[in-house]
A and B are shown apart, each in its own frame.
Chain A
Amino acid sequence: MSLRSLNLPGLGTKYEFETDKGDTVAIFFTKTGTIQMYTLQKGCKTPSAAEMTMVEARRLGNILTGAIIEADQESVEIAFSALADLRVTIHSFLIPKGISGKTIEDLQIRAKTGATVIAVCRHDRNIINPPPAFVFETGDAALVIGESDQIRMFEREIMVD
């Protein structure tokens, strides 16, 4: 797979790569703010295209990275190929009744799972890096970062309480 990126004056940026099987995928970030994705099957002459908004493209990107996407819980996996293929997952969880009223310290999240709560969204306000004494409430959405195993552990150990 060889990735080629190109700046087209007046139009935007083009990313194109050929898969090992000979199909071609091209993505254009146009100056109008939309994103067009073309796929061209090997041996075929006319590509097929889809136009997406920024949000739609991001969703597609999440699906392609193998993240789980549900209606209200979303996760993104980021891979850093330069850092020995380090993979970090960020997952959002809705706080259930069982743990409302408890603090991050009470739940021993780090000790039990290794994952970290990096943000909590409460009534459309975001609290970044909540302190250990932070008290969860029902309806909060917590953003948790860690390796995929740690996230799974978090789901099993913490979310059931």
Chain B
Amino acid sequence: MEGIVLALFVCLLLVLLTKYLSVPAIPFYILAGVLLGSAGLGLVTSDEISRFLSGLGLIFLLFFMGLGLKPERIAANRSAVLTSGFIDLNVNMIIGFVGAYLLGFSVSESLIVASAFYISSTAMAITSLIENRKLMLREAETVIWLMVFEDLVLIIFLALISAGDQNLIIFLIKILGVLAVLYALAHYGKEFLISILDRDDELPIIFTFVAVLTTASVSMYLGIPETMMVIALGVAFATTDPDAFEQHARPFKDVFLVVFFVFFGATIDFSGGVNWFMITIICLLAIISKLISGVLTGIFIHGSALSGLEIWGNTIGRGEFSIAIAVLYGSPLIGTTIAAMVIVTSIIGSFTAKYSTSLRRGITHLGRKKSPSHRVHPGR
């Protein structure tokens, strides 16, 4: 218990520091965990309570993600979402998978590494767009839809990987059953849900907490992935009053997610040796493959490789979802690798997001200098 308090106190200081420097906080939470945990000073150790709180952090993160997914909006922007999404998915999944496989991971391990490798941090991308005042750039919209697509892929991934050795038909029936219940609840109980959310006593916040926890425990009891079901709960509730649910779920998400990141760091164990070579290669690949997918997206969507550079700059950072995959399905070795990748890419990503516009201008400028006779297309 003292461990959690100590860890949270350190994180409080880190929040102040990272906000002041305007860099993402996630890598620092993990580093704090590593320093305080079993790989470092050994002051913070994972126990029953910390595991429970970390679990809450994860399900609230996913519930929150579900609240943001509005199927009808995705359908309205189908072509933009699909083109960039498929480029991003294919390029990064393939490079991540082949890279991990060549570095000696088994096929199933490589698939997990590749998924964590593929999925960028939505929180970091959106924060960097806002903080660096990039919302008006046409690439900003592409980045936002990319994040939505990645979230959708994560849902499918969670379903596929948890199906594992179960009877697929029974598994699907169970999932569809719970989905139908959630949908019916949101559809026929809409008035009731909104009347609960409108109250200004403690009921809305308790209701939100209980709804998320109930969905998670019922899913666990039925043997279907609770991660996927809390996302579905979020999607279902998003049809009523998503802003109110976000407001009530945010305190839980913010606090427990910090516990989740710190204890992920604390459980990292270097006793099996650290393969620095492997970590370096994965980190380099993680940056290069997003560059390739970014430039391809830039060319296909905006007709400009330089636009791709902007997309790259804002999507390098891997974060919360990569760690979620590592915690849910990774071995200690995968955990260490993904942790290192998250730390490196998120720190580099915060710089590329800040300086991508200058980088772009520099390249345009350089191009002009090199070939004075060749006129660069205006407006591109």
**A-to-B contact residues, CB < 8 Å:** 6-11, 14, 24, 26, 28, 30-32, 34, 36, 38, 40, 45-47, 49, 51
B135 A10 Cβ-Cβ under 8 A: no
Q: Among the listed B122, B133, B379, which residue makes an inter-chain contact with A51, where contact means beta carbons less than 8 Å apart?
A: B133
- Chain B at the A interface: mostly helix, strand, loop or mixed? helix
Contact B135 A9 (CB under 8 A): no
Query: Does A7 lie within 8 Å of B73, measured CB to CB?
Result: yes
B144 near A: Cβ within 8 Å?
yes
Nearest CB of chain A from residue B105's CB, rounded to whole Å: 31
- Residues in B43-73 with C-beta less than 8 Å from chain A: 68-70, 73
Which residues in B have some Cβ–Cβ distance to A below 8 Å? 68-70, 73, 122, 126, 129-130, 133, 135-137, 141, 144, 147-148, 246, 357, 379
Residues of A within 8 A of B136 (CB): 24, 26, 28, 38, 40, 47, 49
Q: Which residues of B contact A30 (CB under 8 A)?
A: 130, 135
CA distance A11 to B125 in the complex (A): 10
B130 and A9 contact, CB distance less than 8 A? no
Q: Note all chain A residues with C-beta closer than 8 A to B129.
A: 11
A-B contact list, 28 entries, CB within 8 Å: A6-B141, A7-B70, A8-B141, A8-B144, A9-B73, A9-B144, A9-B147, A10-B122, A10-B144, A10-B148, A11-B135, A14-B135, A24-B136, A26-B135, A28-B135, A28-B136, A30-B135, A31-B246, A32-B130, A34-B130, A36-B133, A36-B135, A38-B135, A38-B136, A45-B379, A46-B357, A49-B133, A51-B133
Residues of chain A with a CB closer than 8 A to B135's CB: 11, 14, 26, 28, 30, 36, 38, 49
The 8 closest A-B pairs by CB, nearest first: A49-B133, A38-B136, A10-B68, A47-B136, A28-B135, A26-B136, A9-B68, A8-B144
The answer on a CB contact under 8 Å between B126 and A10 is: yes
Q: Other than A7-B70, A10-B144, A32-B130, give 8 A-B pairs with Cβ distance below 8 A.
A: A6-B141, A10-B147, A11-B129, A11-B130, A11-B144, A26-B136, A30-B130, A49-B133
Closest approach, in angstroms, between the C-beta of A101 and any C-beta of chain B?
A: 39
B158 CB to nearest A CB, Å: 19
Q: Which residues of A contact B122 (CB under 8 A)?
A: 10
